[in-house]
Amino acid sequence: MPATVVVGTQWGDEGKGKVTDLIARDMSMVVRYQGGHNAGHTLVVDGESFALQLVPSGVLYEHVTPVIGNGVVVDPFVLLEEVATLESKGVDCSRLKVSGNAHLILPYHQELDMLTERYLGKNKLGTTKRGIGPTYADKATRVGIRVQDLLDEKIFREKLEAVLGDKNTVLTRVYNRLPTDPAELADRVLTEVVPRLAPYVSDTVGLVHDALDGDREVLFEGAQATFLDLDHGTYPFVTSSNPVAGGACTGAGVGPRHIQRVVGIAKAYITRVGAGPFPTELHDEDGDTLVDRGHEFGTNTGRRRRPGWFDAVMMRQAVRLNSLSEVAITKLDILDTFDSLKVCVAYDVGGERHEHLPYHQSDLHAAKPIYEELPGWRTDLTSARSRSDLPPEAVDYLGFLEEQIRAPVSLVGVGPGRDQFVDFGS
Ligand code: GDP
């Protein structure tokens, strides 16, 4: 059975949680393939809000096996706490599977993340300081510790001892901090984490392929987004993994031939957290309206997101980078109060028109948006449930986006609730 990927197409916070949840209904397995607990999905079910950081969205469906793939970095303390919170709300997490090849975020990663950001001062990257970058760095330099290492106490202690030799030199000599005692940390992890985590640890590659071979639907769930991708985003203001659809292959252990459907998720406008180039950024009242109406503050960090008009140039690039087969537009209802709406259709870089993202980032910094203006609908969309419930201006806005990004719009979000969406494709 061919698999589906859902991927954020902007700078994150597109509402992937809700769309993934909708698509997950028809799946038998949902697999996270990259990132860590910096993802922060929010789902609203029957008025109750669920904040998922590591556990895949499908956990709320009893027929779905939620899988944390090898490409994810796992803070075991955070994962176990999330599981405990979900279970306290009556969500059964016993089906959860965690790849033995996923890398562990341990307390020293978080400490180093914090210290490095502080040390960088005004040049800081704006990381979420959860140790995700340092853990991926350890993975690349081959000093990482994997989930499977927890199941072999001798190996775990040895690896921790070896890596902390190095980390402690940096912690004490560069940052003037206390060292981490490897034996103490090992004891803590082996008592607090291992007995609770061990039942979830699995050969997730085998499970994913068993599902595919058995003709069961598998969904690969991306965290963060296309323009935060380590290779294709606005480097260095990016995450340390590959959220693009191709990341599902390495991060879950499947070849590209298994992936047939790629759903890109975009807000009806755009936001960005932290530093980095942002051609359609708004510093005016319209921007404030987007932030206020859209509650554009980080789920995990509470930081105000930078707002802007929809950028079709970036979306065209996202269509290319992910081979998007369709696009889900979220938060269309946030635009309900505007008299008119702007969509960036091209960039002006030094007097030259660019229909596609300029490859050189200096050009992206210099890019001036070329807008087309469309009439707003000034109607409350939150109770729209089908295409025919949408006012003509909203249908035209979505049609214009389809034409600009050259991909069909399938789903449209009109509110935070699970049922607040319009099937635009039908
Ligand atoms: P993610 O990081 O991309 O998963 O984004 P989140 O799911 O954390 O953030 C999206 C926020 O917007 C959550 O609070 C959702 O409940 C909410 N949301 C999602 N879709 C819609 C929508 O169509 N309209 C409105 N008003 N809110 C939405």
DSSP string, 301-333: T-PBPEEE-EEHHHHHHHHHHHT-SEEEEE-GG
Check residue 48 and give its pLDDT.
79
Find how far residue 144's CA is from the centre of its chain.
Answer: 22
Check residue 1 and give its pLDDT.
67
Tokens of 12: 């994150």
* Rounded-to-integer distance, Cα 144 and Cα 140, Å: 8
Mutate-to-test residue for ligand 1 from 42, 290, 390, highest number of ligand atoms within 8 A of CB: 42
CA-based end-to-end distance of the chain: 23
Return the half-sphere exposure (C-beta side, CA atoms, 13 A cut-off) of residue 119.
11
* Rounded-to-integer distance, Cα 302 and Cα 159, Å: 36
Residues with CB under 6 A from ligand 1: 8, 12-18, 40-42, 44, 299, 330-331, 333-334, 413-416
Query: Which residue, by CA, sits nearest to atom 15 of ligand 1?
Result: 416
Ligand 1 atom with least separation from CA of 51: 8
How big is the chain, counted in residues? 426
* Rounded-to-integer distance, Cα 32 and Cα 57, Å: 9
Query: Which residue, by CA, sits nearest to atom 25 of ligand 1?
Result: 415
* Rounded-to-integer distance, Cα 21 and Cα 303, Å: 25
* Residue 373 backbone zone (phi > 0: left; psi -120 to 50: alpha; other: beta): beta
Distance 42 CA to ligand 1 centre (A): 7
Check residue 298 and give its pLDDT.
80
Query: Which residue, by CA, sits nearest to atom 12 of ligand 1?
Result: 15
Check residue 125 and give its pLDDT.
67
Check residue 51 and give its pLDDT.
79
Q: How far is CA 208 from CA 5, 57, 248, in A?
A: 13, 16, 12
Mutate-to-test residue for ligand 1 from 49, 331, 334, 419, highest number of ligand atoms within 8 A of CB: 331
* Rounded-to-integer distance, Cα 379 and Cα 394, Å: 9
Residue 41's nearest CA partner among 28, 30, 31, 54 is: 54
Distance 305 CA to ligand 1 centre (A): 13
Tokens of 25: 């209904």
Distance 151 CA to ligand 1 centre (A): 37
| 258 and 252 Cβ atoms separated by less than 8 Å | no
DSSP 324-368: -SEEEEE-GGGGTT-SEEEEEEEEEETTEEESS--SSHHHHHH-E
Peptide bond between residue 236 and the one before it cis (omega within 30 degrees of 0): yes
Residues with catalytic roles = 13, 41
| 359 and 367 Cβ atoms separated by less than 8 Å | no
Tokens of 278: 């942002």
Ligand 1 atom with least separation from CA of 332: 23
Longest dimension (CA), the chain: 66
Residue 390's nearest CA partner among 335, 325, 310 is: 335
Distance 20 CA to ligand 1 centre (A): 11
Q: How far is CA 318 from CA 64, 112, 312, 374, 426, in A?
A: 28, 32, 9, 23, 23
Tell me the per-residue pLDDT of 6-64, one tens digit each, with 9 for 90 and over.
Answer: 999 999 999 988 888 889 999 999 999 999 997 767 766 777 777 788 999 888 899 99
* Rounded-to-integer distance, Cα 403 and Cα 311, Å: 13
Check residue 303 and give its pLDDT.
85
Query: Which residue, by CA, sits nearest to atom 18 of ligand 1?
Result: 416
Check residue 2 and give its pLDDT.
84
Query: For the chain, give me the number of helices (H) and strands (E)?
Result: 13, 20
Query: Which residue, by CA, sits nearest to atom 27 of ligand 1?
Result: 416
Residues of the chain with pLDDT under 50: none
Distance 296 CA to ligand 1 centre (A): 9
Dihedral over Cα of 24, 5, 263, 75: its sign: positive
Check residue 45 and report its DSSP letter: E
Question: In 225-275, which residue ranges form alpha helices assigned H by DSSP?
Answer: 247-252
Partners of 7 in beta bridges? 264
